[in-house]
Structure 1
Amino acid sequence: MPDSSSRPNTFGQLPPSKWPGERLGLPKIGPGSIGRPLRRLLGFAIDWAIAIGASAIFFDYDPAANLIIFVILQIIFIPTIGASIGHRLVGLRIISIHGGWVGLWRPVVRSVLLGIALPALVWDSDQRGFHDKIAGTALIRQ
C-alpha cells in the first residue's frame, strides 16, 4: 500500500511540477511553454515604461496615473491582442487554462491583482502568479 503521507489529501497539497506548466498540460520548452521569469520581467518593464510615458505626457508624471494607465493597458490589450504590448514584444501571450478566448473578466481580474503587486509575487511550481491562478490564466511563449 502506498504511503498516504506522500499523496495530496486536501486542496492545495499537489506535488510540485517536474517543469513549469506540467500540471496544465503545457510543454517543457518551446512555443506553448510557460513564460520564464526574465521574459515576464522584461515584458512588465516595457509595459511600465509605456505607462510612465503616457503619465508624463498627460498627467505630468503622476504615480497614481502610472498605475491606472498600466492596469487599463493590460485590460485593453489582453483580450484584443492576447497579451500586453510588452508581453507581445518579448514573445509571450496570455491564455485561459480552460481553453478558448481569455474573455473580458479574466483580464480585468488579472490586471487589478497585478496592479496590487503582491499576488504577482506569490508563485506556484508552475511559475504562475496568484493573479494568474485566480483569473485562470497562464502566460506562455508564442
Structure 2
Amino acid sequence: MGRKRGEKPKNQPESMISRKDLGSWIEGPPHHAAGSYPGQELGLPPEGPAAMAGYGRRFLALIIDWVIALGLGALFFNGSEIAPLLIFAGMHILMIGLLGTTIGKRIARIQIVKVGGANATLSTSLIRTALWMVIVPLIIIDSDGRGLHDRLAKSVEIVM
C-alpha cells in the first residue's frame, strides 16, 4: 500500500524552514486589522502631533540629511567616499541625542522619542544610528512600521 496524498515519506527528515515561514517574510509586515493604525500598540494617536511619522516624511528627512552629508563631505573632505557616511552618522548621533531631531527630520516635522514619550538620549541615538548604518534593521519592520533599529533602541519617530 502506498502513501496517502500529502503524507511525507518515512525516511525524509523534517524541514527546518517551512513554506509558511518564507511566505510570512516575503509578504512583509502584518497588515493592521480594520480600525487599527500604526502606533496604536504604542499608545500613539492615529494622526496629528505625536502620531507615528509616515514613510513619506521619513524618506524626505533621509534625502535632506543625506544631501547635507554629501555637500559637507565634498566641501570639507575633497570628495572622500567615506566622509559623507561618517558625517551622516555623526549628525544623527549628536543631533538626535541632543535635540531629538536632525535638520532633515526637523524640516519634515519628525522627532525621535523613546517609547513612552521620553526624550531620546545619546545612547538611544548611538544604538539607532549604529544599527541604521548596517541597513539590515531598516528592512525588518514590525506591524507598527518601526524598523529593528527603532525597536532595539526603544524609540519611535513621531510627528512634531
**TM-score of the pair, normalised by structure 2:** 0.75
Structure 1 gaps, min length 5: 1-14
Contact 1:110–1:135 (CA<8 Å) still a contact in 2? yes
Pairs within 5 Å for 1:1-142: 17=32, 18-142=36-160
The CA RMSD over aligned residues, in Å, is 1.4
Kindly state the Cα deviation for residue 100 of structure 1 after the two structures are TM-superposed.
Answer: 2.1
Kindly state the Cα deviation for residue 102 of structure 1 after the two structures are TM-superposed.
Answer: 1.5
Secondary structure of 1:80's aligned partner:
helix
Q: Which residue of 2 aligns with 1:4?
A: none
* Alignment: residue pair count: 128
Kindly state the Cα deviation for residue 118 of structure 1 after the two structures are TM-superposed.
Answer: 1.7
**TM-score of the pair, normalised by structure 1:** 0.84
Q: Which amino acid aligns with 1:23?
A: E
CA gap of 1:31–1:99, structure 2 versus 1, over 3 A, is closer
Secondary structure of 1:63's aligned partner:
coil
| Aligned equivalents of 2:64, 2:113: Cα separation in 1 | 20
Kindly state the Cα deviation for residue 48 of structure 1 after the two structures are TM-superposed.
Answer: 0.4
Secondary structure of 2:83's aligned partner:
helix
Q: 75-84 or 15-24, which moves further after superposition?
A: 15-24
Kindly state the Cα deviation for residue 121 of structure 1 after the two structures are TM-superposed.
Answer: 2.0
| Aligned equivalents of 2:149, 2:124: Cα separation in 1 | 10
| Aligned equivalents of 2:156, 2:43: Cα separation in 1 | 12
Kindly state the Cα deviation for residue 23 of structure 1 after the two structures are TM-superposed.
Answer: 0.6
Larger radius of gyration: 2
Q: What percentage of aligned pairs have identical amino acids?
A: 36
Contact 2:39–2:144 (CA<8 Å) still a contact in 1? yes
Q: If each structure's helix is expressed as a fraction of its own residues, which one has the higher value?
A: 1
